[in-house]
Structure 1
Amino acid sequence: MAHTVGIKDVAREAGVSIGTVSNVLNRPDTVTAATRARVLAAIDRLGYVRSESARQLRAGSSRIIAMLVPDIANPFFVTVARGAEREARRAGLGVMLCNSAQSAVEEAEYLSLFGAQRVRGVLVSPADGTGRALRDFRRHRIPFVLVDRVLPGLDDGCSVSVDNVVGGLLAVRHLLALGHRSVTYVSGPMHLQQCRDRHAGALAAVREAGLGAGALEHLRTERLDVASGLDAGARLLGLPRPPAAVFCANDLLALGVLQAMYSAGVAVPREVAIVGYDDIEFAAAAATPLTSVRQPAELLGRTAARLLAEETAPTASAHRHRSVVLQPELVVRASTWESVL
């Protein structure tokens, strides 16, 4: 087995003490220029690579933050992660991105791993709507920021979310303004707060229009992905009276519904109008561009990373927990309004 070059080898090669090598690596201003040059030359000759994990143990602080998202295949979370990474790099931190696959079990396993690795902090979009795994994670005393979610009983930390009630209101208000008198809401799992909030906003729009709660139908799906949207579309087409207006809890569901309609020869928006949520890049690029409620995804990630960097900085004693709520906006495209075709 090849010998791993260590700090003792560098000290021997340079003819100095281990403490001197450590000073060159950690406090170079305390070492004379000549000695520093000799040690650096020895490092270069031997190919010594500093152990980041050992440095973290000595310093008591990691430069890595973990980010846990429920669906790494969803472009929305890719954009959130990109924003978080850019902000983290400005603070001199790196981001380790992990995927819970919308599984509470995998989420708990990852959080346990983050605790064992002593990451600096965690950005998490919980898959477990109960917050149980995060309450257990508290024992590690590692700060975390909730991203795109707010969970009851976890108000002793920071969170960044979008007002999903307003988002649901905007979506269904738009459909009703086009003359539709009933809307079907295709949701993901209703244990997720954002799915419930978008439904609440949709219901508020129906009531605002003076319609009864029966004007909002509800079709549940197990996941928030294209495959679930395809299945939902088939189920809608199988109804005695398929809906003329559909609001989906995210764009992946909406794209699946849109594809199902195309396959069945149903004209969009002439026979059915469809609204998505998130405004991912694929929404505008669909064969019939998708009307969607835009979330400021990159800003969401940047804000969350900034709050975590503030909380874990040496001046963290001045940090105050905050719950930041961003606002969505409706982007109208051809899936609801023929005039934009």
Structure 2
Amino acid sequence: MGVVSVKDVAALAGVSAGTVSNVLNNPERVSAATIDRVQRAVDQLGYVRNGAARQLRAGHSRSIGLIVLDVGNPFFGELIRGAEDKAVEAGLTVLVSDSREHPDREKTQVELFEEQRVRGVLLSPVVEAWPAVERLRSRGIPVVLVDRALSDTSVSSVSVNDVAGGELAVAHLIEQGRRHIAFVGGPMNIRQVTDRLEGARKAVSEHSGVAFEVIETRELTVPAGLDAAARLATREAADRPDAVFAANDLLAFGVLQGLIVNGGLRVPDDLMLVGYDDIDFAQAAIVPLTSIRQPARRIGETGIELLLAEAEGSGDFTPRQVVYQPALVKRASTASP
């Protein structure tokens, strides 16, 4: 048998094609006995609904697009899980794209989701989010920013107060007696990086006698952290920072490995280290990593909740900006001797 149609199911069940359609799409309109008869016919014939046709009729699909900065970062892995769990509850699926921190790649992904008529898009933007938001919304596709907020309150967003997170990290290092602190992070066109740097500078400004420097990286990755560590390890002890705040945990892992394995330095004795995200691997590092925790899974869940509220709001939806507060998780990488 070729492709099974609604008419085939109707013929086997002894009902009309319209009744089969109601069973599949509006079962509340059909008796329990009819539903059972149609379902048995569906199972016997192996009928599968034509999702593309349904999408064409509805004007949108049952999929949600999610664009993240780096799918290889466990922080975004947790965010994706949260979004998928919440989407499944609503009978939807999540299509994940990885911009790899490249604006052109992000633009292409936005266009593809538009062509696929997704139900909505969760976006963690590389740079300025407004062009992508405007493009999608002009075509009736709701957008929610995740791990990022806009000053424009007409767009819903779910984010973490990264300025507060950066301040927490550096204030902790200062409290531990460190007086020469380096911020390792980049690129600086990513808002999360600059917000964390802003918080770090704020903490330094509130304490006298603290030196501060920035070691900029091209990526938020382990290899970028290794490169930063190599630059630090070649410096004389008197010129080297006694603490590092890394813009995320992947960078921190690279710094940690580079300092201990390649640089022969001790963490935390020679140099204390704080990361950001508190991914699962942080507590299992060769020196358990102090980190700034943000609720990645909850960010994904909340993003879906806001997206569905807007998609189903019939024009009376009021955009919301949800901001979670970060927390400092202390571990051995900043322990006092």
Whether 2:122 is the aligned partner of 1:123: answer yes
* Cross-structure match for 2:191: 193
Query: What does 1:271-310 align with in structure 2 at a 5 Å threshold?
Result: 271-310=270-309
CA distance in 2, matches of 1:37, 1:284: 52
- 1:192 maps to a residue whose letter is I
The Cα shift of 1:174 comes to 1.0
**1:13–1:334 CA distance, 2 compared to 1 (3 A):** same
Q: Normalising by structure 2, what TM-score?
A: 0.92
Q: Normalising by structure 1, what TM-score?
A: 0.91
CA distance in 1, matches of 2:157, 2:44: 48
Q: SS where residue 332 of structure 2 aligns?
A: coil
Kept in 1, the 8 Å contact 2:136–2:143? The answer is no
- 2:202 maps to a residue whose letter is A
CA distance in 1, matches of 2:142, 2:330: 39
Kept in 1, the 8 Å contact 2:166–2:195? The answer is yes
* Cross-structure match for 2:67: 68
- 1:188 maps to a residue whose letter is G
* Cross-structure match for 2:179: 181
Q: SS where residue 335 of structure 1 aligns?
A: helix
Deviations 1:205-254 (A, max 9, x none): 11100347xx2100100110101101111111123422111110000000
The Cα shift of 1:308 comes to 1.1
Q: SS where residue 50 of structure 1 aligns?
A: coil
Deviations 1:191-215 (A, max 9, x none): 1111111111111111100347xx2
Larger deviation, residues 276-285 vs 46-55: 46-55
**Any unmatched runs of 5+ in structure 1?**
none
Query: What does 1:189-338 align with in structure 2 at a 5 Å threshold?
Result: 189-211=187-209, 215-240=211-236, 241-263=239-261, 264-313=263-312, 315-338=313-336
- 2:172 maps to a residue whose letter is H
- 2:112 maps to a residue whose letter is L
The Cα shift of 1:14 comes to 4.2
Kept in 2, the 8 Å contact 1:246–1:273? The answer is yes
**Any unmatched runs of 5+ in structure 2?**
none
Query: What does 1:81-96 align with in structure 2 at a 5 Å threshold?
Result: 81-96=80-95
CA distance in 1, matches of 2:190, 2:157: 16
* Cross-structure match for 1:45: 44
Kept in 2, the 8 Å contact 1:230–1:256? The answer is yes
Kept in 2, the 8 Å contact 1:269–1:336? The answer is yes
The Cα shift of 1:318 comes to 3.8
Larger deviation, residues 300-309 vs 254-263: 300-309
- 1:169 maps to a residue whose letter is E
Larger deviation, residues 280-289 vs 154-163: 154-163
**1:247–1:119 CA distance, 2 compared to 1 (3 A):** same
Kept in 2, the 8 Å contact 1:71–1:99? The answer is yes
CA distance in 2, matches of 1:30, 1:276: 56
The Cα shift of 1:34 comes to 6.0
- 1:134 maps to a residue whose letter is V
Kept in 2, the 8 Å contact 1:150–1:193? The answer is no
Kept in 2, the 8 Å contact 1:310–1:316? The answer is no
The Cα shift of 1:38 comes to 4.7
Kept in 1, the 8 Å contact 2:61–2:116? The answer is no
Q: SS where residue 333 of structure 2 aligns?
A: coil
Q: SS where residue 168 of structure 1 aligns?
A: helix
Percent identity over the alignment? 50
CA distance in 1, matches of 2:30, 2:175: 73
The Cα shift of 1:91 comes to 3.0
The Cα shift of 1:148 comes to 0.6
CA distance in 1, matches of 2:56, 2:29: 22
- 2:75 maps to a residue whose letter is F
Kept in 2, the 8 Å contact 1:160–1:300? The answer is yes
Deviations 1:96-151 (A, max 9, x none): 22211111111111111111111111111112346433333333220011001124
- 1:159 maps to a residue whose letter is S
**1:35–1:297 CA distance, 2 compared to 1 (3 A):** closer
What is the RMSD of the two structures over their aligned residues, measured on CA atoms?
2.1
Kept in 1, the 8 Å contact 2:68–2:76? The answer is yes
Deviations 1:252-304 (A, max 9, x none): 00010000011121011110111111111111110100111111212222221
